[in-house]
Each structure stands twice: as C-alpha cells, then as structure tokens.
Chain A
Amino acid sequence: MSSSPATGSTRPLWVVVGILLAVGVVVPLLVPTYATTTPELFGFPFYYWFQFLLIPVVSLLTFIAFRISENATARDREARGQRRDDEGVAR
C-alpha cells in the first residue's frame, strides 16, 4: 500500500479490511464443507491438508488487511488533524 493522498472517506478501505478478516473467521468454521477424507494430498486426508492450507491463506489475508488498515488509519488520522504515524506505515 503506497500512501495515497488523504482525500475522501476511508470507509471503503475499512469495509475491505472487514471482509478479508471475516473470511478468516468464517471459513474455518464451515466444518461440513471440508470434513471429508478425499481427495488426499501427500498422504494427508482432505480434512487435514485443507486446514493446514487455511493457515497460510488466512495469514496472507490478515497481512493484506493489516497493510490496508495502516493506510486507512494514516488517512483517518490526517483527517482528524493528528500527526501521521509514519513509523507504522513504513513497514
């Protein structure tokens, strides 16, 4: 996320953050969709490898949400007339 000019509402950004995070909470709880043994992968039943796969996927989604939230927070803070937290955005 490059820092874009502080114009307009950040609401759409926060909505995207919410959706990305919601995926990470909801999908692991949809047990019926993945509670099967087949297809297997490297000897792992589907049930197991699917949940292992979810870990990096959700981690990535959360990381994207983090970057967007940093951007949105910086713009929110500017709109409120607060100092921009460059340290947090930089990384």
Chain B
Amino acid sequence: MKDVSPVALGVFLFFFLLVTVLGFAAARWRRAESLDSLDEWGLGGRGFGTFVSWFLIGGDIYTAYTFIAVPATLYAGSVVGFFAVPYTIVLYPIIFVFLPRLWSVSHRHGYVTPADFIRGRFDSRPLALAVAVTGLLATMPYIALQLVGIQVVLEVMGLGGSGSWFAKDLPLFIAFAVLAAYTYASGLRAPALIAFVKDTLIYIVILVAVIYLPTKLGGWDGIFHAATKAFDSFNADNAKDIAAGTVAGKGIVPPAAAHWAYASLALGSALALFMYPHSLTGVLASKNRSVIRRNAALLPAYSFLLGLLALLGFAAIAAGITVDNPQQSVPALFEKMFPPWFAGVAFAAIAIGALVPAAIMSIAAANLWTRNIYKAFLKPDATPAQEAKQSKLVSLLVKFGALAFVLGLPTQLAINFQLLGGVWILQTLPALVFGLYTRWFHRTALLVGWATGMVYGTWTAYQVPLPGKPGTHFGGPLSLVPFTDTKGYIALTAFALNVVVAVVLTLVFRALKLPEGTDQTSPEDYKADAGDAGVQQLPDPLEGEPANA
C-alpha cells in the first residue's frame, strides 16, 4: 500500500464535494422557473436540438468504461482490445437507419420505453415483459462497471483496497451512498446538471493525455514499439502455454484466428448499444428525425478520441507501469506522469464520469420497472404518486444490486459483465428493430427466440473460464461459434440463434393460425415527424418521474 498524495487527494475531494453539492442543489434547478424554460431541455417542450443531443448521446459513450476498461484490454495485450473503435464506427450508420422510425412511432403513441412499443406493436404482454426484464438485467452490470471505475481510481490513489473488507470497501460505499442520496432527492436533474462538470473535466484530461504523454514517451512510434517489444517477450517466455492454449498470446494486431472475434465484438456491441433503455431515452428526446440523422454523422468525433484513449494502454507499457490489475494501468499512468494536482483532476474526471451514467442508468431502469412491470402487471390502478415512489425505490434497489455485483465478484470481470449485459440486451433486437419494419414475425415466436438467445448466451458465457484459470466462469465475451473452430462474440452467436428460432416458429405458428393480436400502430406512424398530426410530446426527461408519463 503506497502513500496517498495529499495534493491529488485534495483536488479529487474538491471535485467530488462540488458535484455532491450540485447533485443536491439540482433538486431546485429549473423547478421554480416557468414551464416555458423547460422547452430547450425537455421532451415536454420542443426537444433537444443537434448540439444538446450530441452532448447527451456522446456522454453515454464516455463512461468510466472508456477510461478504465478499454485501455486496460490493450495494456493486457488483448489482440481484440481495439474493437471499441470499429464498434463506434459501425454504430452510427446503423442508428441512422432505424432510430428515426422508432422516434416517429414513439412520438405518435407516447411510447417512452422499448417495452411500450413492443406492447403496442405486438399486443403481447409477455413479450413486453421479456423486453423490460432484459433491460433491467442488462443495465445492472453496466452500472456495476461504473462503480468499478470509481473503485479502481480510489485504489490507485491509495484509498481502500487493502485491510479488512470494511476498510477496503468503505470509500466505495461512501461514493455509492452519495450517488444514491442525490439521485433519490433530485432525480434525473442531478446527473443532467453534473454532466456539465463531468464532460468539461473529461475533455481536458483526454486532450492533455493524448497530446502531452506521447511527447514524454518517445512519440507514438516509441509507444507502439515498447508495446510490441513487451508482448513479444511475453510470447517468447510463455511459448509453451500459448501453444497448449492455456495462455492467450499477446499482440498489437489481431492474428487471422481473431479476426471474426474482433469484427463480431464490434458489430454485436454496436447493435446492442441502442437497445439499452438509457441510450434510447436520449434519442427519443431529440427534437425531430433530422436531429438523429445529423448526429449520426457528427457523433464519430467521439470515436477518434476514444481510439486515442484506448492507446493509453500502450502508453502505460511504454511508461513502465506494472500493475497486477490491468484496469489500474491508466490511473497509474496518470499518477506517474502527471503532476499531483492534474492527476487529481484526472481521477475526479473518471470518478464523476462514472457517477453520471450510473445515475442515468439506474433511473432509466427504475422507469422501465414502474411503467412496464409495476403499472402493467402488479398495480394497474396505481396513482401517479405511487408510481413516483416506486421509481425512486427501484432506482435505489438497482444501485444496490450493482454494488453487490461489484463487491461480490472479482473486479477484473467488469468489462466482461458489461459484455454479458450486451449478450442479454441484444436478444431484444428482433422484437424491437425488426418490429419497426414488419409485423411478419409472430409475437410468440419472438418470445421463444428471445428465450433461446438468453439461455444460450448466458450458458455459453458461464462456461468461458478466465485465462489460465480452468474451472472459473464468465471469463470473457468470446466463445467458439458452434460447428466451427472460430471464436466469436457470444452475443452475436446467440442473436443469430434467436433469429433462426423466431423465423422458423413464425412459419409454424402462422401455419397453425395462432392469434396474432392487434397492431396499435399504422404504417404512416413510422414516418411522422415533429409538427405532423398526432405527433405528441413525450414527458420531460428532467422530471424523471412517471407521474408525467
């Protein structure tokens, strides 16, 4: 255990206190003002324009995951670690195509969650429930990943991480309690306000890191050579184990055997991202269809920074950082290379960058619960006040669930848990995205396809051991594609299986003439734009309470 740098700690605590005060003060933000002023921000008004949407959607990509886990995989020599870049390239043409349709139909019918749309389109309560439950399940590890981000920073600063379990986890508990308290008090207002601090800090840190660090480490040339050298010597030392398949070879470029793994991770993650309830919230808040499409062209600016950030994993190698937990590599790099005060800023950026998405995700999950499970099944006659209370409580529960995830399981699994969440959430794509284009699929076939994908994906992921540790579970996102000897992203394999089952059973159920239910939507609903007849305003996301739904 090393000493805590007082300057770094002081700067970190300053920012942490600042956002805590902001978080609680947010309860009053905009509330006292007239309704007119909600226009620029709220779904309830004209919706978000291009700039605010760019900011919000981009914020979903820049989480602690970006800062910690992506460079960590490169630091660890994973040959597929750079997949985050093609992932965020292929993402945007995909959302260009289907999200405007979802925007239109949601604004015609007042759908706020993906499950709302499924219910209206397929007239199937079980299918809507399946989609809602999957959203909840998949969001949990995503929140957990954010908490891991905070934990890693705390450990590098020398807080927690050793001693009794109590001393070890106390700082994380405090950070968590603060997060829970102000989202409980202020709802979505808190993260919306804190996001300004978060994004400013993160941009500064990224720009400084990718410009300043290479000058100290022999340029990008020197950084790539250092990484190559380190991986080559690792491969030479472990040649026997690598040949036996018990240890994965390291490298900076994927060998032929890993090409499909790389491509399937990129494609699977891109398809999955906008199935998450919290990312859809931001898109539905856009002013009109054009905003979504224009942003599809503008958001890749983030991908460029993301790629440079990923390369900091190699920079850590060049700087001679040696840590057992690769996730500590970038925080340790900052600590070693930056003056203490700027390291404090960087740590604060990571921790706050974790708090904001964690808050948004837990609120999105809570709304999903309240609208699509509580109100739909448990208490259809709930009053708005009861609904708001449910949302608040569940938002707390979800965060506790995430905390249990983090404390109960090894932290180096963080990225893999998030990828497991990706495995689950991708199974809702056929109902949601295919449903935007066709009602050919039978609702029960979609449900069985979903279940097949969920079971296959979870079981397959369970069987993946951690590298070099046979008998362990959930060790990675990759597994052999059945009937081949190529590894691929489990989510995508499960998705393919899901689609095959849905197609076959649709043919069967149609032949059996099973009832299909009534479609609430009509074809022109999918093309409607702001200002058209019947296009309604959705509730203000800042309210974050189903009372307005």
Contacts and interface: CB of A to CB of B under 8 A. Distances in A.
Contacts of B223: 43
B252 A29 contact: no
Interface stretch (B286-294, B367-375, B396-404): B286-294
Contact of B253 (A45, A52, A60): A45
Interface residues of B, number: 45
Interface in B319-360: none
Contact of B93 (A21, A40, A43, A51): A21
Nearest to B219: A43
A28 B307 CA distance: 14
A51 to B, nearest CB: 5
A51 B223 CA distance: 18
B253 A36 contact: yes
B89 interface: yes
Contact of A43 (B85, B89, B222, B303): B222
A85 B82 contact: no
A62 interface: yes
Interface string B191-229: 000000000000000000000000000011111100000
A65 B25 CA distance: 43
B162 to A, nearest CB: 37
Interface residues of A, number: 43
Contact of B297 (A25, A43, A51, A63): A63
Contacts of B222: 43
B259 A59 contact: no
Nearest to A69: B293
Interface in A46-81: 47-48, 51-52, 54-56, 58-63, 65-66, 69-70, 73, 76-77
Interface of A is mostly: helix
Contacts of B415: none
A59 B221 CA distance: 27
B158 interface: no
Contacts of B93: 21-22, 24-25, 58, 61-62, 65
B413 interface: no
A31 B262 contact: yes
Interface of B: 82, 85-86, 89-90, 92-94, 96-97, 219-224, 252-256, 259-260, 262-263, 266-267, 288-290, 293-294, 296-298, 300-301, 303-304, 307, 311, 527, 529, 531-532
Interface of A: 21-22, 24-25, 28-32, 35-37, 40, 42-45, 47-48, 51-52, 54-56, 58-63, 65-66, 69-70, 73, 76-77, 82-83, 85, 87-88, 91
